[in-house]
């Protein structure tokens, strides 16, 4: 049976350090503030935003929530972001995705000033990640790296396979593994011999949004398996992209769903917000 990489335990340790730093800044007269914008009433987005608000409250970070109606226009959203860009109390700005279809996601993301872009989606921050000279990292890939390091797993020289090539997880995940001296293969829907590629991985990161897609025959004996998926199985129960029951019998270590990568994503968002506050107040 694989060792369980417990995201709740690791995120608690990360949050404790953040909390201490927030208190230290507060003593210097600096309050840390995060603005979260949600447009429309997507149920999953509402849950994510509520979790972010809760984390802010736990850590002493001031949370500014802007819940806008689904019919909000690009102009109205851009006007709010401009106001937040210029608000010194707001260190980080997060616009919850996905946005309603009539809104221009690219335009909205690009309108957040890079120094307040705590999701690390702005092209300037993406470029900095590519060259390894970054201020912020995308929260989910950063959380995965934190989990791997916390668990004492060596990345240098290891064969890592990332399944999924999204801009939010797959691509930055590959870059961060490269920065940690891993040899990285990125697989996707057009990959030939996907099963063989996965079965060669010392560290396998799966982020495709397909319930229980990766099965034991796709995993190398003793491999580290990181499941980024958040899906529902045939009974409506939360599960990941990895078939946990079969793969956990073969892997060396595995993240569960829920309780794996999810808690880390929010912890890293808080860390990015803290980093933003420190940088903005050091000028």
Catalytic (active site) residue 119: yes
Which residue among 15, 21, 117, 119 is the active-site one? 119
CA 144 to chain CA centroid, Å, is 8
SS3 177: helix
SS3 66: strand
Catalytic (active site) residue 52: yes
Note whether 31 and 56 are within 8 A (CB): no
Q: What is the total residue count of the chain? A: 283
* Domain 139-262 fold: Rossmann fold (3.40.50)
Q: Where in the chain is the domain with CATH 3.40.50.10860?
A: 29-113
CA distance 194 to 186: 10
Nearest 10 degrees: Cα torsion 66, 71, 76, 77: 50
Q: What is the DSSP letter of 216?
A: G
Count how many Cα atoms sit within 13 Å of the Cα of residue 281 in the half-sphere of its side chain: 20
Q: What is the pLDDT along the chain (283 residues), one digit of tens a residue?
A: 999 999 999 999 999 999 999 999 999 999 999 999 999 998 889 999 999 999 999 999 999 999 999 999 999 999 999 999 999 999 999 999 999 999 999 999 999 999 999 999 999 999 999 999 999 999 999 999 999 999 999 999 999 999 999 999 999 999 999 999 999 999 999 999 999 999 999 999 999 999 999 999 999 999 999 999 999 999 999 999 999 999 999 999 999 999 999 999 999 999 999 999 999 998 6
Which residue among 96, 116, 241, 243 is the active-site one? 96
pLDDT in tens, 113-145: 999 999 999 999 999 999 999 999 999 999 999
* Domain 29-113 fold: Rossmann fold (3.40.50)
* Lookup: tokens for 58: 């736990």
pTM of structure: 0.95
List the Cα angle 125/129/133 in 5-degree steps. 95
Catalytic (active site) residue 280: no
Q: Where in the chain is the domain with CATH 3.40.50.720?
A: 139-262
Spell out the alpha helix ranges (H) of the chain.
7-27, 43-59, 74-85, 105-111, 123-131, 139-150, 170-179, 194-199, 244-247, 261-280
CA distance 207 to 226: 9
SS3 122: coil
Which residue among 15, 52, 116, 171 is the active-site one? 52
């Amino acid at each position: 049976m694989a060792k369980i990489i417990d995201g709740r335990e690791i995120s608690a340790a990360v949050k404790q350090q953040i909390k201490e730093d927030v208190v230290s800044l507060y003593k210097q007269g600096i309050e840390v503030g995060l603005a979260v914008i949600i447009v429309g009433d997507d149920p999953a987005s509402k849950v994510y935003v509520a979790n972010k608000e809760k984390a802010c409250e736990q850590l002493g970070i001031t949370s500014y929530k802007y819940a806008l109606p689904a019919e909000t226009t690009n102009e109205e959203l851009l006007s709010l972001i401009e106001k937040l860009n210029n608000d010194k109390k707001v260190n980080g700005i997060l616009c919850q995705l996905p946005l309603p279809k009539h809104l221009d996601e690219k335009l909205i993301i690009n309108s957040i000033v890079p120094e307040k872009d705590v999701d690390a989606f702005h092209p300037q921050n993406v470029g900095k990640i590519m060259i390894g000279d970054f201020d912020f990292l995308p929260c989910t890939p950063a959380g995965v790296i934190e989990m791997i390091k916390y668990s004492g797993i060596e990345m240098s020289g290891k064969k890592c396979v990332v399944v999924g090539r999204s801009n939010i997880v797959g691509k930055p995940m590959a870059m961060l593994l490269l920065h940690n001296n891993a040899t990285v293969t990125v697989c996707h829907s057009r990959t030939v011999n996907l099963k063989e590629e996965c079965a060669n991985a010392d560290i396998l990161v799966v982020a495709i949004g397909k319930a229980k897609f990766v099965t034991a025959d796709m995993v190398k004996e003793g491999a580290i398996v990181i499941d980024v998926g958040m899906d529902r199985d045939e009974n409506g129960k939360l599960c990941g992209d990895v078939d946990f029951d079969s793969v956990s019998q073969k892997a060396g270590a595995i993240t569960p769903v829920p309780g794996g990568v999810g808690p880390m994503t929010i912890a890293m968002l808080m860390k990015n917000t803290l980093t933003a506050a420190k940088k903005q107040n050091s000028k």
